[in-house]
Chains A and B, each alone.
Chain A
């Protein structure tokens, strides 16, 4: 008998050692996939959710680029499976998944007055990107647009004001280039980064990057001229990613740079380098039509194949609530967005001040939409890059782009 008992105890111990999850058998759980840099900020809220609902949450990592997210998730969804119950997904991937019927509608998950918390510019973008036939398939938790960073300390020393127009940006850029600095820089490498900048300038020129219209032509010609004619923008940027241009900026080489909001934290976090005025934000210089900066972001969705949809819905309700979303935005700027509740919580604190300033000046504009956005972006990347290195003329690039886009629309 005693030997039998010892055998049972040993067997159980072995099972617990080999299968740590065995003890949680029968416990309700969900798996939440989100970029790993956001995990720390999420943890206190996860604990709160677990206490409130008794649902155990496991955090999993998502890729940091939208196209990689598309690649990763498609393989699961295509097979009719999902290892995740809740996913923080990108603009490149989510609309395509919604059209493929791979996402769960969230209408019955969100409170009736949920979207009253959204300012019109954000709501408009949500409808274009995340709604299909009046069904909501994703809600963005980050709503980001490019900010115009500049070296206020250098500008002040030279008695300059931040540029209000493209022309002023060129004039000022020349002054810095004459001193051996880089006047203006952005990451123009493939894939996707070149598109970001082209789309930003195309909106300011009143065009649509996917239409290869006059606005697009003006914007791309402007990039070309900044590089080759005015020489205020380094040609090397054509193979630079965000890490590289951030390094340029924080090595005191760059005077002006468009960058995503995370750069605000990056500069302030570099305590050895940062001091007041080194990474000040101004409104974007105005192009021929506007000083718009397109906004996009990552948002929560529930895959149709989620193992625990009910648990996932409870998580979405919790994490997007007016109580939690503002606190989460305070914990990590990636969760910042212009929702009224978030802005009220953050007030004039840090980047929120600039987000409000940009919004008050109508800078945020909807991200250019295309039903097959990843492919369309690659087409823009390909032809613009080919033009900027002299592989084709601007007219050829536009003709080629139109042709490829037409084939895409078949």
Chain B
């Protein structure tokens, strides 16, 4: 369970988040919605431990997150959280294979699960792309690779920042289906920022920023 309590965040005196409180239960497909510039991504980044709030508290299960402890937040990002970004954020010159296994540069090799890898490669249709460098892939292919990289460590939380924003409808539907599937079958918490209403039926719970 993730609990955010009175989270505040400002950028250069511009208050982006004001006393945001929410609770996300394990295994929930959770959406954060709202108009552009309302602070959706900022909240998501704080929940994903990529950014630090100015004030407020964040709990992962019962652990109060100490954002000043960079080693601990890095550890939680590596073990508990997987990220899927709108801009994919792949390493362009590395192959698909190297991109997917990039987290294991920082993790013990014993945490690598061959079955999970095989399942992801097959499920995301990445077999024929494994040796290609990431920068030659299409948008849909890049996002599938990003999804594989996010899931290869078997994280409990998957953070998605508008992952369908650069995809066509078919690819977007495929990705949403996949995320819904892992949320249900593997009881993973998926937190997604989106401004689209097209996939509202996928979400179990939604936090909406008022305009």
A and B part of one assembly: no
